[in-house]
Amino acid sequence: MSSYLDNLNYEQKQAVTADLGPILIVAGAGTGKTKTLTSRIIYLVEEMNLQPENILAITFTNKAADEMKERAHLMSNRTNGVIFGTYHSLCTRILKQEIKILGRNEDFNIIDDEDQNSLIKDIYHSLGFDFKELSTNLALKTIERIKNNEIDLATFYTYDDAKKLGLNDIHQLLLIKKIYLEYVKQMNEQNLLDFNDLLNFTRKILIEHDEIAKYYSNQFKYILVDEFQDTNIIQFEILNKLINNSNVFVVGDPDQTIYTWRGAYPYIFKDFLKKFPQTQQIILNQNYRCSKNILKVANKLIDNNFNRIKKNLITENDEGKAVTYFCGTSNIDEATYVCEKIKELITEKKCDYKDIAILYRSNNATKTLEEYILHHEIPYKIYGGINFFQRAEIKDMIAYLKLLVKPNDELSLVRIINVPKREIGKTTITEIKDYARANKKSFFETLTLSLEESIDVKWRRSHRHINIFLELLTKLINDTKELKLSDKLLYILKEINYEQYLKENGNGDKYDNVKSLVEHLAVYEKNNPQNTLKDFLNEISLYTNKEDTNSNKNVVSLMTVHYAKGTEFNVVFIVGLTEGTLPSFWASKYNDCEEERRIAFVAITRAKKELYLTASSGSFDPISRNTCRESRFIKEIGVNNLLNDYIKAKSISSNDNEWFDSNRIVNYANNYETKTVEFKQWDKVSHTSYGEGVIVGINGDFLEIKFDSEPAIKTIIKHHKGLKYKI
């Protein structure tokens, strides 16, 4: 046996060396699933003598696919030829060969969310619809729901039907019918596919054409799937049609199913075992990431879920520091505590800023955090913003490259016809679009009509500028035909003087991103010498996240738990552990917290050495209109498993504006009267911090008070010691 097996524990080796057939690996957090999956690929080619080109490895991000490919190649040079990719890249590969059977041209373009949004806005304009009647966001979500559920809109006409689609009323249902028909028409005419089309069209072909399904099943004789818990029903149907002789190896963790909101199917493991009853099931439960104390908290929490495959994570790591819990009276207390603790960790040289992450349930938690992090002069970066390929300057260049391949690509033409500025404004573009729709011509055909003097339309006033643009486009296409991919982009940049354009608009620093794209093209060409520009464009259309969370910069990382999945840090702060936040408001309301508990479990298991949980209790939550109280998850973990930290840092909004001594112990019970004073609306009161004011409203245990010193109404719990009648 090869040396790569020597680095595996018993369960990992059992998984890697298993016989052919269906295998389900339940891999807990930090148990080395990627190493196990990669080692399995090596075993298939080196010990079982499978041909690499007959092996398909499916992951859920292109980044993960690239990393797995690189790791496999480092372990064995016999893995060249193994196909690594996502479901979307697999579907793109199949559709390039087979989409013509659906009456579509294989020369399709894949559009991302931003392109979809632009197309929908054009449709609203052409149909004369008002965004207030139906938001574009809701329209796109409804279109996705219609496609994924193969809904026949002709049968939908009642109020209940509208509700099934997530719409408010029949009026919105009538609007979506027209929008959907026009959307499909435009996608067909422009030969565009969105991400849902990639999956749906592939499923349709494989289900309706057995000979095609058999062809690809014979090609992919062995299939491995990573992050199986994130698989949705459509992806599972595609997988079933491709599996050859039950030779499938899936790896995942039911306890990390946190994407049901975007289609992940929570019962996928049960369905897999039902589909393949002879499945060999192996559990990986030895965690290599977390300390014993962190794992104890994670296990205690997730054990409260019923819909799971039972396992208990173990580790040979040290006990580590006890998991610390802090509960303040507001999110300001939380933010201040986190900042003070980070400064303490840095001062005591326990870690660097880059070793620390702050995780939260949703992005709206960052406002207060950012304010206090800035006040404490802590370097930080918020992850989950605009990724590289979604940046405006990158999309500009991608649009130019797309026009080299397909000059009549309307979305690309519209994007860059006035970039850099060519005096072809939005009004002119809208007029050209309207003329094209009315006369059943493409946008590109209509542009060329501007050269004909016999055409009497308003937009001919810009004919000289349009003509210059068309001449430029022709020149770019002709002059770049024989150039390398990266040189094509360099030539475009020079011809349009894009760097100068960015500088003139105060965006000169963005040119560094464009240079990164040139470098990316050069690397792509080196690694894929046979691929064309079109292959490159299709591939990057599938990239949903190219941002590296393991940055070399020495900054604290702020991110949602969903974004943090797949990462690890020495020190993790999980903030917002309150009812209505984690678990979320709706989960709390309907007492359906299994996925919320899985989200908290994923957050906890990002921590390697130290974990801090923070909450707030007693303040007023304006969303739920209730008193904030700590998350039920704290009770489920058990106070005996947590080190309670009662240190309270003073808010920067206090009157004396001095920082509280963090060594001082505070008893929160002393802040409140044990006997509630019965205040009434319009009573005059005084407060130790805000001074005098009048009660303008009462909501349960909370008073809404307009203080003379404050512009906004303050909400204060009515039995706080700092609040008195004004005598």
Provide the annotated active-site residues. 33-34, 226-227, 256, 606
User: Is the separation of the CB atoms in 383 and 549 below 8 Å?
Assistant: yes
d(CA 408, CA 61): 30
Structure tokens at 18: 């298993």
In terms of C-beta density within 10 A (0-12 exposed, 13-18 middle, 19 or more buried), how is residue 688 classed? exposed
Which residues lie below 8 Å from residue 706, measured CB to CB, with a gap of 6+?
A: 693, 694, 696, 713, 714
Q: At what angle do helices 533-541 and 87-98 cross, to 10 degrees?
A: 140
CA dist 702 and 700 (Å) reads 5
SS3 content of the chain, % helix, strand, coil (to 5): 50, 15, 35
Beta strands 23-27 and 280-284 are: parallel
d(CA 710, CA 708): 6
Q: Measure the CA–CA gap between 399 and 409, rounded to whole angstroms.
A: 9
Q: What is the CA radius of gyration of the chain?
A: 29
Distances (CA, A) of 358 to 185, 294, 558, 596: 45, 16, 5, 18
Distance CA 80, CA 92 (A): 21
Q: Which of 156, 152, 154 is nearest to 170 (CA)?
A: 156
Give the orientation angle of helix 463-479 with respect to helix 485-496, to 10 degrees: 150
Neighbour count for residue 193 (Cβ, 10 Å): 21
Question: Hey, what amino acid is at 529?
Answer: P
- How far does CA 723 lie from the centroid of its chain? 44
- Phi and psi torsions of 699, nearest 5°: -130, 95
- The H-or-E segment that residue 471 falls in is helix 463-479
User: What is the DSSP code string of 384-402?
Assistant: SSS-GGGSHHHHHHHHHHH
